[in-house]
Amino acid sequence: MHRFFVPPEWIEDGAVVLSDGVARQLSHVLRARAGDRITVLDDSGWEHLVTLTEVASDRTRGLVVERSRSVAEPSVRVTLYQGMLKADRFELVLQKGTELGASVFVPTLCARSVPRPRGESRESSRLDRWRRIVVEAAEQSGRGRLPKLREPVPFSEACDGVRGPAIIPWEGETEAGLKAALGRLRPNAGALASLGIFIGPEGGFTQEEVDQARAVGVVAVSLGRRILRAETAGVSVVAAVMYELGELGG
């Protein structure tokens, strides 16, 4: 069934009025008809099963026939501080990270990050494009909440924003592995409510960055003997964390 994240105000008293891109997609792309069912999400963790009553490209109406809690949200809130990468690779991390259950993405400007595009309009159109990628991946993968996408921040600001347990995979770390570090962050195999994950850019983190992260309590971990590309590392660590916490099929 097709799923759409919509602004909460589009749903009122059991009735739904869809406009903009969602209405256009339903009428033109999906050729929906009155009587068809869709799932509408308002980013509250609730899902609304809706029967369409009127389909038009400017305004499509429907009635909520059932409301249920989303079952797809992970119990751990993962914030991925991903070092800025070339556009297509960064987009891959956003898409796959959303599918895997990340809750927050923080594009992080590292000492070795590729420079950011000049000009505010390019910056905002890039963020719009990224938001669309996150929304599409969230709809397609059945998420009940939309992952947050923050504006790019410098590495030191990202460090200052860390609250709770966090790890920084770093190829200079030879002792602590990911599994052991996660074990220590959740005593007695208890629940982990949140986890920050710092992934470096293509050129990796500088020693100063790793020191700075450690100074605010972020734990350096190894991902083993092979060096993963930055986008592979971001996606793999989210997957491994979800697996370890029983959020990837058991």
The span of 11-19, 130-138, 168-176, 211-219 binding ligand SAH (CB under 6 A) equals 168-176
Q: Which one among 171, 214, 239, 248 touches ligand SAH, defined by CB under 6 A?
A: 171
Distance CA 229, CA 89 (A): 10
Tokens coding 188: 């007695």
Q: Rule CB under 6 A: is residue 130 a binding residue for ligand SAH? A: no
Cβ proximity to ligand SAH, 36 vs 171, nearer residue: 171
Residue 51: CB minimum distance to ligand SAH, A? 47
The CA-CA-CA angle for residues 244, 79, 182, to 5°, reads 30
Q: Rule CB under 6 A: is residue 218 a binding residue for ligand SAH? A: no
Q: Rule CB under 6 A: is residue 230 a binding residue for ligand SAH? A: yes
Cβ proximity to ligand SAH, 62 vs 97, nearer residue: 97
Phi, psi (degrees; rounded to nearest 5) at 81 = -90, 95
Judge whether 231 and 85 are in contact, CB under 8 Å: yes
Per DSSP, what are the bridge partners of residue 77? 194
Concatenated DSSP letters of 127-166 = HHHHHHHHHHHHHHHT-SSPPEEPPPEEHHHHHHT--S-E
Binding characters for ligand SAH, 25-64, by CB under 6 A (x = yes)? ----------------------------------------
Contact positions toward ligand SAH, by CB under 6 A?
A: 169-171, 199-200, 203-205, 222-224, 226-228, 230, 233
